[in-house]
Homo-oligomer: A and B are copies of this chain.
Amino acid sequence: MHAMTMPMRRLPRSPVVEFGDNILRGIGQVMLQNNPISGLLFLAGLFVSSWQAGVYALFGTAVATATARLLGAPAASVSSGLYGFNGALTGIGLATFLHHDLTLLAYVAIATMSVTVVTAAIQDSIGAKGYPLTGPFIVTTWIFIGGVYAFAGVLNAALDSPHLPKSPPSVHVPLGLGDIVTTVLKGVAQVMLQENVWTGALFLTGIAVGSRITAAAALIGSIVALALAWALGARPDLIRAGIYGFNAVLTAMALGGVFFLLHPRIIVVTAIAVCFSTILYGSLAAILRPMGLPALTAPFVITVWLCLLARASLPRLGELSPTAPGTPEENLRTTRPSASNQT
């Protein structure tokens, strides 16, 4: 995770290799993986779906990382990808919703310089023990998507994106059994706003490189979200596009082993949190629709922040919280739950 200290060979490296490593880790951190190989697989997944998504992810990570370095951010937080992954997502987000041209490139440059300041500001607001998660991406992307409705020079390319549904589909095709595998994988791909089965598979592989438990959590989160959204009667076209999955995927990964130790109690809490984040996605998407904004990963951030904040008042959550979150495997090795002193 963001604060994770992963042992690595600290040979002297050239600045170019260092910067490349920063960028790949930045992209890796989008899925909570602090290692360059995961980042490389995620990047491959992006390019499989859309070359713009891949290019803007690289561009966004590079601009945000360079800005953080120029403004003197501590080397540890830059090299762990903290600044980079919000830059990556902001680049992808704007490339997904807006039309690619030179104006967009300048627009994304301002956005991804800004996201570094937003990240630092959120980090300072929530304290050293808090995690900005994808909060800086959400705030910055909302601001720059909202600008599209004011500036005719920035073209809205995605009025028919499933993230901004304008009207119910004319032909209502119910979900079939054959949709399950593709929907579950698209749920993983939509974490970076892509609707592509192979992207989802590459993302899952990249996650498994860092942690098999987290990969399993992502898969199960996507399945639970699909089942719940179907049971509650969500729009089948949106379910099929993976729209109901990506917040559940992130919530399952973050709570199921990374920010809390794997434990039967945490598995129950994570299951309810995954349901909560799925309902919150439907709700937030509806609430934000009049304003023309997509919900993005806000349901994930809100759900995880609520669970992390609640630790102080609910000791049976707090006692299962590792001091320096790493992969679920690392957490189980390094932390052992303190004895519960509450009844």
CB atoms of B120 and A310 under 8 A apart: yes
CB atoms of A124 and B309 under 8 A apart: yes
Within 8 A of B (CB), among A104-126: 107, 110, 113-114, 116-125
A326 to chain B, nearest CB (A): 22
Taking CB atoms, residues of chain B closer than 8 Å to A6 are none
CB atoms of A71 and B120 under 8 A apart: no
Chain A 119-147 interface 0/1 with B at a Cβ cutoff of 8 Å (1 = within): 11111110000000000000000111111
Bound together, the chains give a CA A282 to CA B147 distance in angstroms of 5
Q: Which of A29-37, A44-52, A204-212, A226-234 contacts B (4 or more CB under 8 A)?
A: A226-234
Taking CB atoms, residues of chain B closer than 8 Å to A220 are none
- Which of B124, B147, B234, B291 touches A151 (beta carbons < 8 Å)? B234
CB atoms of A77 and B151 under 8 A apart: no
Chain A 315-327 interface 0/1 with B at a Cβ cutoff of 8 Å (1 = within): 1110100000000
Task: State whether the Cβ of A153 lies closer than 8 Å to any Cβ in chain B.
Answer: yes
CB atoms of A233 and B310 under 8 A apart: no
A152 to chain B, nearest CB (A): 3
Task: State whether the Cβ of A306 lies closer than 8 Å to any Cβ in chain B.
Answer: yes
CB atoms of A275 and B110 under 8 A apart: yes
Task: State whether the Cβ of A293 lies closer than 8 Å to any Cβ in chain B.
Answer: yes
Taking CB atoms, residues of chain B closer than 8 Å to A292 are 286-287
Bound together, the chains give a CA A151 to CA B230 distance in angstroms of 9
CB atoms of A279 and B315 under 8 A apart: no
CB atoms of B287 and A124 under 8 A apart: no
Interface residues on A, range: 35 or more
Known: A143-B280, A146-B283, A343-B75. A152 touches B233 (CB 8 A): yes
CB atoms of B153 and A117 under 8 A apart: no
Taking CB atoms, residues of chain B closer than 8 Å to A305 are 121
Bound together, the chains give a CA A317 to CA B11 distance in angstroms of 30
Known: A146-B286, A283-B150. A120 touches B234 (CB 8 A): no
A281 to chain B, nearest CB (A): 8
Task: State whether the Cβ of A170 lies closer than 8 Å to any Cβ in chain B.
Answer: no
CB atoms of A110 and B314 under 8 A apart: no
Within 8 A of B (CB), among A200-238: 229, 231-235
Additional A-B contacts beyond A120-B310, A122-B309, A287-B293 (5; CB < 8 A): A74-B313, A117-B314, A145-B283, A153-B232, A286-B292
Chain A contacts to B: CB under 8 angstroms: 68, 70-75, 77, 103, 107, 110, 113-114, 116-125, 142-147, 149-154, 229, 231-235, 269, 272, 275-276, 279-287, 290-293, 305-307, 309-317, 319, 340, 342-343
